[in-house]
Amino acid sequence: MADATRVLEPERWGGIQEGGRGAAPADASLAALAGRRGLLYGAATKERTLRNDPQFAAAFARECAILVPEYELKWSKLRPGPDRYDFGSADRLASFARAHGMRMRGHTLVWHKALPVWFDEKVTRDNAERILRDHIDTVVRRYAGAIHSWDVVNEAVRLEDRLPGRLRRSPWYDRLGPDYIRIAFEAAAKADPNARLVYNDYGVDYATRSEGRKREAVYGLLQNLVSTGTPIHALGIQSHLRGWERRFDPLELQSFLRAVAELGLEVYVTELDVSDQRLPATIAERDAIVARVYEEYLEAVLDVPQVRLVMTWGLSDRYTWLTEHRPRPDGQPVRPLPLDAELQAKPAWRAMARAFSSAADRGGV
Ligand code: XIL
């Protein structure tokens, strides 16, 4: 297991924890506008995309102060076998971040999805805790010092499963029960005492009954973790928004985020995008609605001072998971991100720029 770690010493990635703003972003970039308010802005990307598309890589380096690997740190990619680690593409992303003075987030150490093919057969009730601890220890140590924050546990709450604590019936829950969450946070804290440790989830944005219940359940989980002394520092809200959804209530979202902040936690927007799946066909109309959603949402969340970080799930419409996951019925390419497929700023970019510029100053990042 130690084999892969020898390829590159972990120290290699250290040193950008605090002063990582070497290459100052261009004045008019989202990173620069956010940075002026003490906010961090960045985006998710795949390593292959940066490598194959230099124009995109340049836009990425210009607009973002922080990067999150879209799948390179997930188990399915990192763990080709029960005793093997493949850090190749995650290492290249860490190098890219470092070379451009950007920080990096870690996504994600525990999730019910993106598990390797061998998982079901090899991971049992008896060895699950050891395998989980080994994984977290090895991965988190490797990038210690380079990672701003880790999504330690992703999407652990699911009301439909009717389990105690309103947890999801996940492969980890099946093997370890609710304790897997505490185990994961403790292992991560031990492996990198400086990274901020995050619980990340979706479906807490809208004023619907089901999202209201999800907010309560997530709050309950956080309260439980904090009161038992589990090392957790922030809630990540994924913020995959739907452009056609009208049931948004800024006050309701803010009161949830303020309650989370009162627990002593920061709040990160971790995967923001705005689906245009059910929006009108005309591009001008669609872009205007998507931009309005970005602005309203960011204005609402940035009103809460503990919101310190905003990441979009992708930067340009050229590369977005929504092409596959939320395609338009009319077959037109989707337009959910701040840059269009030609890497030009869209109304959504300008909406984000306005929201960042009118946010209150957080004081140094
Ligand atoms: C998505 C990636 O973007 C896709 O490329 C992949 O096929 C599936 O996963 N919530 C998360 C992310 O926490 O990890 C997901 O990323 C999107 C939803």
List, for residues 267-297, the tens digit of each pLDDT value.
Answer: 999 999 999 999 999 999 999 999 999 999 9
The pTM of the full predicted model, rounded to 2 decimals, is 0.94
Options 155, 252, 266, 295, the catalytic residue: 155
Query: Hey, is 64 helix, strand or coil?
Result: coil
**Probe residue for ligand 1, chosen from 68, 71, 110, 150 as the CB with the greatest number of ligand atoms within 8 Å:** 71
Q: Of 206, 224, 203, give the one whose Cα is nearest residue 155.
A: 203
| Amino acid at residue number 181 | I
Name the stretches of the chain with pLDDT < 70: 1-27, 364-365
Burial class (CB in 10 A: 0-12, 13-18, 19+), 83: exposed
pLDDT computed for residue 131 by the predictor: 98
Phi, psi dihedral angles at 202 (to 5 degrees): -120, 175
198, 152 contact by CB (below 8 A): yes
SS3 of the chain: helix, strand, coil, percent, to 5: 45, 15, 40
The torsion defined by the Cα of 118, 119, 122 and 127, in degrees rounded to 10, comes to: 150
- Probe ligand 1: pick from 200, 271, 326, 337, max atoms within 8 Å of CB? 271
> Please, which residues bridge with residue 268 across strands?
236, 309
Cα 108 from Cα 147, distance rounded (Å): 12
Give pLDDT, residue 12.
58
User: Is residue 9 among the annotated active site residues?
Assistant: no
Question: Which tokens is 149 given?
Answer: 């924050």
CB 154 near ligand 1, within 6 Å: yes
Q: Residue 272: which of 300, 219, 310, 312 has the closest Cα?
A: 312
- Determine the pLDDT at residue 363: 85
Residue of minimum CA distance from atom 4 in ligand 1: 321
